[in-house]
Amino acid sequence: MVRVLYIDCCIRREESRTRVLAEAFLAALEAQPGYQVERLCLMDEPLTALSEGFFSQREYLLSENQRAHPRFRYAYQFSQAERVVVAAPFWDLSFPALLKIYIENVCVDGITFGANERGTYGLCKAKRLLLLTTRGGDYHDSPLEMGARYLEALCDFWGIPRFDVVAADSLDLGQEAVNVILDRAIANAIKLADRF
Ligand SMILES: Cc1cc2nc3c(=O)[nH]c(=O)nc-3n(C[C@H](O)[C@H](O)[C@H](O)COP(=O)(O)O)c2cc1C
C-alpha cells in the first residue's frame, strides 16, 4: 500500500472549487488498487502559529530532544507519508495562512529535516507532492505567483524529489465558464493520478 497524506486547506469547504478538483483527483487515485489515503482537514485541527509560549515550548523540547511530544504529531505524520497531496486556493498571491501555520508545525529539525555544518537536508519519505489549486486570475507562469513556487522550494528542503501543481486559473475573470476551466484542470489532475 502506498500511504498518501491528503492535506485539505479548502477554507470554503463545500463551496470550494479547489475541493472539487481535489476530490476528483482523490476519486481517481482511490479507484486504483494500492493507495491508502489519510485525510487531514486543516480547518478541523487545533493548529497554532509559533508565537510566545508555543514557540518557546518548541525550543525547549527540541533542546531536550523530546521529540515524542504530541505537538510534533503533524511533523511525524508528514515525514512518514509516501505521497502528499495539498489542496489550497490561491490567496493573496500565495495560499491561506492556515496552510503556513501547518507548515510551521511540520518543519521540525530532526523530524522533517536535519541540519549539519553543510546546511540542511530533508528527512521526509514522500517521493512526490502534488499541489491542487484554483485561482481567481491567471497566474500560471507569473512571477507574482508565490504559493506553488514556495511549496516547490519546501519540497527541496524536506527531501521530496518530485513536485507537481495542477491549477485552474482565471476562475473569477468571467472569460470562460467556471465548469469548463475546472473540467480541464480535473482532466490534468486525473492524468497525474495514474501511477502517482
Ligand atoms: C482571501 C482571498 C484572497 C484571494 N487572493 C487572490 C489573489 O491574490 N489572486 C487571485 O487571482 N485570486 C485571489 N482570490 C480568488 C481565489 O483564488 C479564487 O476565487 C479561488 O478559486 C478560490 O478557491 P475556492 O473556490 O477553493 O475557495 C482570493 C480569494 C480570497 C477569498
Domain range for 138: 2-193
C-alpha distances in Å from residue 193, one per residue of 16, 36, 83, 87, 161: 21, 13, 11, 14, 17
Q: For the segment 66-98, what is each residue's pLDDT rounded down to a tens digit?
A: 999 999 999 999 999 999 999 999 999 999 999
Give me the CATH number covering residue 175.
3.40.50.360
pLDDT for 59 equals: 97
Phi, psi for 69 (deg, rounded to 5): -60, 140
Ligand 1 pocket member 13 (CB < 6 A): no
- Rounded Cα distance, 21 and 192, in Å: 12
> What is the number of domains present in the chain?
1
- Rounded Cα distance, 175 and 78, in Å: 38
Q: Any bridge partners for residue 114, and if so which?
A: 121
pLDDT for 54 equals: 97
Element (H, E) at 45: none
pLDDT band at 189 (very low <50, low <70, confident <90, very high): very high
Ligand 1 pocket member 98 (CB < 6 A): no
pLDDT band at 65 (very low <50, low <70, confident <90, very high): very high
C-alpha distances in Å from residue 104, one per residue of 25, 75, 76, 94: 26, 9, 13, 15
Tell me the CA–centroid distance for residue 174 and ligand 1, in Å. 14
Tell me the CA–centroid distance for residue 34 and ligand 1, in Å. 34
Phi, psi for 188 (deg, rounded to 5): -65, -40
Which residue matches cell numbers 472549487?
A: 17
Please state, as a whole number, how many other Cβ atoms lie within 10 Å of the Cβ of residue 73. Answer: 11
pLDDT for 161 equals: 98
pLDDT for 35 equals: 97
Ligand 1 pocket member 181 (CB < 6 A): no
The three cell numbers locating residue 22: 481535489
pLDDT for 28 equals: 98
The three cell numbers locating residue 136: 481567481
Q: For the segment 14-57, what is each residue's pLDDT rounded down to a tens digit?
A: 999 999 999 999 999 999 999 999 999 999 999 999 999 999 99
Amino acid (one-letter) located at 24:
A
The average pLDDT across 131-158 equals 97
Element (H, E) at 120: strand 119-122
- The CA R_g of the chain, rounded to the nearest whole Å, is 17
Q: Which residues contact 128 (CB under 8 A, 6 or more apart)?
A: 83, 84, 160, 161, 162, 163, 164, 196
pLDDT for 191 equals: 97
Which residue matches cell numbers 512526490?
A: 128
Q: For the segment 89-129, what is each residue's pLDDT rounded down to a tens digit?
A: 999 999 999 999 999 999 999 999 999 999 999 999 999 99
Which residue's alpha carbon is at the smallest distance from atom 8 of ligand 1? Answer: 92
